[in-house]
Amino acid sequence: MKQILAKPIQLSDQMMKAADEASSFKQECAELKAKTEKLAGILCQVARASSDLYERPTHHIIDDTEQMLDQAFSLVLKCRVNGITKRVFTIIPSISDVS
């Protein structure tokens, strides 16, 4: 269970660091950071108490949580100083994949 939780915990740490570096939408990024801090705390508690949990439902919840953290992390990265440049380069390959 600890191996399954390692990636979401690491992702939440990266998201909090990126939220500190945000240059636009600072208030929204600060709110995301605060909620991510709470979530990281809960994930650490789950990692400590993993022997008491049923693996299958917990694994499903952790997968969903990881997806949401990925989305939040990508949003926060777009709020950094060079976020606009990264968005342009991210959009261009996505458009070429559609064609």
For the record, the structure tokens of 4 come out as 């399954």
53-75, pLDDT tens digit by residue?
677 788 888 999 999 999 988 88
Domain residue extents for the chain: 2-98
Q: What does the pLDDT read at residue 35?
A: 94
Share of the chain above pLDDT 90, in %: 33
For 76, residues 6+ apart whose C-beta sits below 8 A from its C-beta are 15, 18, 19, 22, 29, 32
> What residues contact 12, with CB distance under 8 A and at least 6 apart?
36, 37, 39, 40, 43, 69
The pLDDT value given to residue 22: 83
Range with the lowest mean pLDDT among 34-38, 66-70, 83-87? 83-87
